[in-house]
Amino acid sequence: MNRFVVLLLISLLPRLLSAQTTRVSGVVTYNNVNPIANVSLTLDGTYDGTTTNDKGEFSFETSEVGTFTLTAKATGFVDVSQRVELNGKPTLKLNVVLTTKSFTLANVTVRPRLFDLTDKNKYTVLSPLEVLTTATDGNITSALRTMPGAQAVGESGDLFVRGGTGTETNVFIDGLLVSNFTYSGPANLAARSRFQPGLFKGTFFSTGGYSAQYGQALSSALVLETEDIPLKSSAELSISPILGSAGLTQVSRDRKTSYGGTLSHTNLGLYNALNPGRFNFPQAPRFWDGNGLFRHQFKNGGLLKLMVNGGISNMTIDRANLDFEGVTNRINLQNQNLYSNLTYKQLLPKGWTWKAGLAYGRNLDNTRVVAFTGSDARPDSTVNLADRSSVWQVRNVFSKLVLNRTRLHIGQEMLYTSEQRNDLRYTDALSAVFAETESYVTDRLSARVGVRAEYSSLLDRANVTPRLALGYSAGNNGLLSVSFGQFYQKPERPFLLQSNALNFSRADHYQVSYQQTANDRTFRAEAYYKKYSDLITTTPTLANNGRGYAQGFELFFRDKKTVKGVDYWVSYSFLDTKRQFLNYPALVQPSFAARHTASLVVKRFFSDIKTNVGLAYTVASGRPYANPNRPDQAFMTDRTPAFHNLGLNVAHLMSIRKTQSVLVLTVSNVLGNQQIFGYTYSTTNPARREAIMPNHNPFVFVGLFVNIGVDRRQEIINSQL
């Protein structure tokens, strides 16, 4: 349910061909010392390449002429891109150095924290296929909730991580901030992501201690990287009782240019009629979404990527007015959203790499609330809210390998934000600079040292934040790492609309972890401590008088070896956290935090019937909630029931005529467990309350996905091998 089509038609530059061939040869080493076998080398934009032998040596022939990018990929190492000049000479000798080691495990990658600027080597990495085959609902954030550190907060589409609120996790696409990652929706009903998993080649989830390149994320960063130029043209069609979508991707013959887009429409009217939920929808949720994508590889090796994603939605929901018996609030919400992202990557002279980005996003929410007594509307009760926001961002990062064992990154970014709610309005220019080094101190010891500085024109305040991380390779398969960092974030939008006499909120992160990966098994244990200061308080006045802490440990184990054909992982998180913020009268466990959370994910591919079956079970201890009938000294002492959720995913691979198709069945909360996330109380009669629960329990989705051009079925088969 995402994406508004924007087909970008740009003329294609012809490919220059040369009849003369060049033999490209060389050696690939780890840290310029040890040769690496089975490294895949590809000349980007061509079909030329090879793999290294047992001595790390490689050799291949190409007839290309000009400046190209040679990409080296190997399991256990970060991809390396190197600019090469093909000037028609018969031979070219190269030395390729892989500097950062990681541990990769099929499509989900849980990597140790050796360091690169994108934080790919920290924490959890999900491929699009892994998101879709995890038995949740095909949503990025839902799949991440099965990982350690994430809370099972079912009433919101945001990620709540290690004692942080959902707004303290920010999302970045190709390094650029996304302000409205999820759909707009009524309070206490979870909203999905606006972006389909298939748009991204990687989903990198960092639960703390992340790189100095990321700012304004107090607790966590979700980093998404869009796809590069695909291998071939394709067309896609999706059909289900609630949605329909069609997409087209066109790739030029020289594989230097691709463009395309997707259009989708979602309407929950039929589903609500067949399976009524807890709420009445006089107008069922409807969404029109689409995207347009353009990619171009220049002759000088530069890569340009453009994405435009947008949509409109409309819904009307009835909710009981708890303050007045027999009164219903009819809420109509109309949304318009647009997000565009333009990035360019170029190798520069003297070993420098330049990454530039420009993003623009805007969002409009029109909300109308009318009170009804029975079927009669009360016009005098009508409330209209118009929320408008827009964000411009520009970003530049320059990187270079210095002294053979250290990579330097320096960067600059500017975010210009405009926010308005009816007659209230503010603008802010947030500027930032950062510098960071990633070094191999020894062959086993690595260090990342960074600093970030920010200034907000609205707050008229600046901050300087240090970041430090160390990693030690213990044996051949283990990694011990420690990290520290300071993180700042501006107050949320509703507070800044009331006052700009506020300060940044701050969190200090301390972490230590150990990870071991061998024989298709991964084990990770991590302990952490976070100290919060200058959190927003709303009583007695709006100020930065809040404080808090979060501490705990997490365990993760994944095994693809023990049971043939079965892939499973287990995660457990223990969280001890307290906060005094907003209207909290004391330092207490917040309403969004569960002390214990555990998940079990199991997948099995049955090759005889070409069907993948997945189960995902999550359990969490009860969460506190504010009961106004209690005295202040008993604030947040009530608890919700324990959370249980068993999800089922079945994907059957088949062919329809000459197309490759996947028939998908997904069921959330198969067992129908009662899920209560908290309570809403009447302000005039505290004895009256309403439970916060899912609208549909369970929710069932059936869909057919048809692809022409690229066999997605084979991708699923290969992922299970």
Q: How far apart are CA 32 and CA 49, in angstroms?
A: 21
* Residue 9 reports pLDDT greater than 60: no
Residue 455: strand pairing partners: 431, 462
Q: How far, in Å, CA of 521 to CA of 108, rounded?
A: 12
First to last CA, the chain: 31
CA atoms within 13 A on the CB side of 212: 28
Q: What is the pLDDT of residues 106-136, one digit of tens each?
A: 333 333 334 433 344 444 555 555 666 665 6
- pLDDT of 292 strictly over 80: yes
pLDDT band for position 139 (50/70/90)?
confident
Q: Which one-letter DSSP state was computed for residue 541?
A: S
Q: Which of 271, 237, 275, 267 is nearest to 663 (CA)?
A: 237
pLDDT at 328: 94
Residue 350, token pair as written in the block: 């003297």
Token pair listed for 13: 């530059």
Q: How many CB atoms lie within 10 A of CB 139?
A: 22
3-state secondary structure of 719: helix
Distance CA 368, CA 282 (A): 14
d(CA 621, CA 61) in angstroms, rounded, equals 60
* For residue 7, pLDDT beyond 50: no
Distance of CA 232 to CAs 42, 45, 651, Å? 16, 12, 24
Judge whether residue 492 has pLDDT over 60: yes
Q: Are 418 and 390 in contact (CB under 8 A)?
A: yes
Asked if the model's pLDDT at residue 5 lies above 50, the reply is no
Q: Which helix (H) or strand (E) holds 496?
A: helix 493-498
190-206: per-residue pLDDT in tens? 888 888 877 887 667 77
Q: What CA–CA distance (Å, rounded) separates 607 from 98? A: 36
Q: Which residues does 467 contact at the CB level (< 8 Å), separation at least 6?
A: 209, 210, 211, 212, 436, 448, 449, 450, 451, 452, 483, 484, 485, 486
Q: Kindly state the percentage of the chain with pLDDT values over 90.
A: 53
Phi-psi region of 175 (alpha: psi -120 to 50; beta: other; left: phi over 0): left
Q: Of residues 233 and 529, which shows the higher confidence score? A: 529
Query: How long, in residues, is the chain?
Result: 721
**Which DSSP state fits 216?**
S
Rounded mean pLDDT of 658-675?
A: 87
Q: How many CA atoms lie within 13 A of 508 on its CB side?
A: 7
For 604-610, what is the mean pLDDT? 86
Higher pLDDT pick, 118 / 256: 256
- Domains of the chain in start order, with CATH, are 22-98 (2.60.40.1120), 224-719 (2.40.170.20)
695: CB partners within 8 A, 6+ apart = 189, 277, 278, 279
Predicted local distance difference test score (pLDDT) of residue 131: 65
Q: Phi and psi for 539 in degrees, rounded to 5?
A: -130, 140
Mean pLDDT calculated for residue range 362-375: 94
| Rounded mean pLDDT, 508-517 | 91
Pairing of strands 40-43, 699-708: unpaired
Q: What's the rounded Cα separation, in Å, for the pair 440 and 98? A: 12
Q: Are 411 and 434 in contact (CB under 8 A)?
A: yes
Residue of 426, 485, 432, 424 lying closest to 456 (CA atoms): 432
Q: Which residues are CB-contacts of 235 (< 8 A; sequence separation ≥ 6)?
A: 246, 247, 248, 249, 707, 708, 709
Which range, 1-5, 159-163, 617-621, is most confident? Answer: 617-621
Specify whether the CB–CB gap between 658 and 686 falls below 8 A. no
Distance separating alpha carbons of residues 177 and 217, to the nearest angstrom: 10
What is the secondary structure of 563-608 as a DSSP string? STTEEEEEEEEEEEEEEE-BT-SSSB--TT--SEEEEEEEEEEETT
State pLDDT tens for residues 41-100: 888 767 678 888 878 899 888 877 777 888 888 766 777 888 888 877 888 989 888 865
Does the bond joining 585 to the residue before it have cis omega, within 30 degrees of 0? no
| Mean pLDDT, residues 350-379 taken together | 92
For residue 24, CA distances in Å to 85, 104, 445 come to 11, 28, 33
Q: Which two structure tokens, joined as six digits, stand for 315?
A: 């819904």
**CA pair distance 60, 392, nearest whole angstrom:** 45
Cite the beta strand spans of 374-423 per DSSP E.
Answer: 376-402, 406-421
Residue for token digits 């408008």?
A: 388
Cβ of 675: how many Cβ atoms within 10 Å? 21
pLDDT value at 643 more than 70: yes
- Mean of pLDDT values over 451-480: 91
Cα 715 from Cα 712, distance rounded (Å): 5
Q: How much is the mean pLDDT over the chain?
A: 85
Residue closest to 203 by CA, chosen among 138, 280, 109? 109
DSSP summary character for residue 161: B
- Please report the pLDDT score of residue 10 as a whole number: 26
Of 482, 416, 480, 488, the C-alpha closest to 451 is 488
Q: What backbone phi and psi angles, to 5 degrees, belong to 517?
A: -135, 130
- Bridge partners of residue 471, in order along the sequence: 446, 481
Phi and psi at 167, nearest 5°, equal -80, -10
Span 385-397, mean pLDDT? 97
